[in-house]
Chains A and B, each alone.
Chain A
Amino acid sequence: MKGYIVINKEICKECHLCISVCNRDCISPSTEYNLKGYHPVFYNDNGKCNGCGLCATICPDVAIEVYRER
């Protein structure tokens, strides 16, 4: 595992832009609800995340934190 992300599900608004830019299927839609009534995405820990940060770059709500091995 080269990296991982942490998603703040309370501020996720289910726009799914992060899913559209992730090349490694590391983020998936969910069916649970957050306090605002959206279905937040969740980090699909498949061991492929390399901490590229594309999801965090495009996330409009700054809901994603990225960690990478250095």
Chain B
Amino acid sequence: MCLGIPGELIAFHDDPPDLATVDVSGVRRKINIALLAEEELRPGDWVLVHVGFAMSRISESEARAVLDFLEEMGPAYDDELAALRDSARDSARDEGELLALRDSMRAGLNPDDLRALRD
């Protein structure tokens, strides 16, 4: 059971206890935070919401780490891929051939080698 959505904690309620208001894109919902009783939650924290309960506090640093990892993957390879596509467009008829061409060029090569090859 998987539908969990990130929401920002806006306010806590005293009565009934364990309730807090969370904001998802401007939609505000009251959720139960009892499962995170051992965390010290503060307004501005982000939590994962599932069936009306907060399941986990979202770690900003871990979220950042994933995005950093993804960014690292990014521009260098986009350029390489674009360059490969341009040069291979005439000879490779379909995407399968293009992939194979790229794979055979990439096997064991790191980005620096690849750039060196092209230049």
Asked if A pairs with B, the answer is no
